[in-house]
Every structure is written in C-alpha cells, then in structure tokens.
Amino acid sequence: MSHGNGSSQGKRQKKQLSNNEKIYEKRIRSGYGRYIVPGAIGTVVILLIPFIANIWISLHSWRGGRSKMKFIGLDNYVKLLGDEKFWTSFSNSLYMIVAMVIIPLLIGLILAAVLFDYIGREFGGKTSSFLRACYYLPQILPVGVAGILWNWILNSQTGAINRILAGLFGMDKTPDWLGDPDLAIYAVMLMLVWSQIGYPVVIFMSALGRVDPELYEAASLDGAGWWRRFSAITLPQIKPEIFVVVLTCTVAALKVFWTCLYADQGRSAKLHPCAVLLFLH
C-alpha cells in the first residue's frame, strides 16, 4: 500500500511540474506579446489607417482642405488608366527596376563571387577588401559630386563618352545623352547601375563569408570549375541575402515613380544628372 501511495504521489508531482511548466510558458509568451504591441500599434497607425484612408479618398472627387467630397466610385481609376502620362511614368518605373535591381543584382553576384572566390584566394583578403570598398564608393559619394562627374561624362559637347566616340569612330554628330528624350532614360539607367552596384557586392561578400569553405575545397577536388562551384554552392547558400537585396532595391526603385520627363511643352529641356540624382535620393 505504501509503495502504491508513493508511486501515485510521484505521478502527482510530475503532473504538477508539467502544469507549472505550462504556466511558465504562458507567462513567457505573454511577455513576448508586450514587445509586439508597440510595433503593431505603429503599423496600424502609420501604415494601415493611411492606406485605408487613401483608398477611401480615391473613391471621391475632392479638391482638398474643407471642400466637399463627392463620391464618384472608380472614375478616378478609369481616368488614370486612360492617362498617357501615367503609362509613361509606369514604363519609366520599370526601367528603374531594371537599372536598380536586375542589372546590379546580376553584376553584384558575379563580382562578389570573383572577389571572394578568386581575388581573395590569389591576391589576399586585403586586395579583395580594397576592391569591395571601391565598388561601394559611389553609394557614399556626395550627390553634388556624382552629378558633376556624370555631367562631365555625358556632356554632349565635351563629355568623355562623346570624345571617345568621336575619336574611335570619327562621328561628326555625337549623341545628346541628356537632351534627347529617347536617350535620356538610358543615361539615367547607366548612372543608377553605377551608383547601385556596390550595395549587392557588399551584401553578397558578407554572405559568402559564412559559407563553409570545405564545400569549395571538396568541389575543387572533384574537378568542379568556377562556374560549377558558383551555380551549385554559391547561389544556393546565399539565397536569403539575394531575397533581401531584391526586396530592398525593388522598394527603392518603386519609390521613384517618374512623372513624364519630357512634357509636350518641354521636350527640348536638358536633363541634368545632378538634378536626377537629387530627385532619386
């Protein structure tokens, strides 16, 4: 009888301990919830409420201020989709995504892999770090300096690109990179690729630092070349960083929702690179 009472008492203690553990876990979870509340309130107040308010206002005809709001349904969206300037701005935004996301991402991947996997091994870590800093330099360069630099490069009369074209190909009439509406967008894209390429290089090189070097050594022993190591080891290992770069750069590119660069009354206006960079920042 005493043995049976002892075993039942032990089961009660275990059950009591498990209940205490459950209570402890609930307290911990409630503590986590307290930290989430401020962020949730900020998200609702700063993001959700203004977003709903914007949708509600878009369904009305309103001049702002104390003027009366008139409900018109989806008429504003119908007018917007039929506006030529809207579609020009939308296409320019796609150009910005190509220049700020796709091209820098591809070039940054290759540069980071070359710097880490080849330059770092052959010439040492200091050389790869120096080159990484050089690629990142346009990110921290003052906007005014970058504008002056690209104005010197793209100037239609004395620009470096047109001088090279005239010298190599003997062109009498060189392109007006900033004054021609058909070429200005590509000149801006070139500036953006140059300014954005350092960001993915730095992120990807940091990501490559956490990859197990034994994977590369084993692949080299098996006879895998650089491209095979890059596609089979590098890309799969840094997928989280690729996602972060794509997300952040896409958000930055979508913020640049271009108005029509050249309206009908101003198609002959020059597009100064300094003004473009100030607008983008």
CB atoms within 10 A of CB 268: 9
Q: According to the per-residue pLDDT averaged within each range, which of 51-55, 112-116, 212-216 is highest?
A: 51-55
Helices 125-140 & 181-196 angle (0-180, nearest 10): 140
CB atoms within 10 A of CB 150: 24
Sorted by sequence, the CB contacts under 8 Å of residue 227 that are 6+ apart come out as none
pLDDT at 8: 52
pLDDT at 254: 80
pLDDT at 186: 86
What is the share, in percent, of the chain residues with pLDDT greater than 70? 79
CA-CA distance, 143 to 115, in Å (whole number)? 27
Q: What is the pLDDT of residues 38-81, one digit of tens each?
A: 888 999 999 899 999 989 988 888 887 778 888 888 888 888 88
Q: What is the pLDDT of residues 153-192, one digit of tens each?
A: 888 778 888 888 887 777 778 888 877 777 888 888 888 8
How big is the CA angle at 23 (ends 20 and 25), to the nearest 5 degrees? 110
User: Taking all residues of the chain, what is their mean pLDDT, rounded to a whole number?
Assistant: 78
Nearest-CA neighbor of 207 among 246, 242, 251? 242
Question: Bridge-partner residues for 132, per DSSP?
Answer: none
Where is 71: in which H helix or E strand? strand 70-71
The verdict on pTM exceeding 0.75 is no
Which amino acid, residue 210?
Answer: R
How big is the CA angle at 102 (ends 228 and 215), to the nearest 5 degrees? 25
Distance of alpha carbon 119 from its chain centroid, rounded? Answer: 26
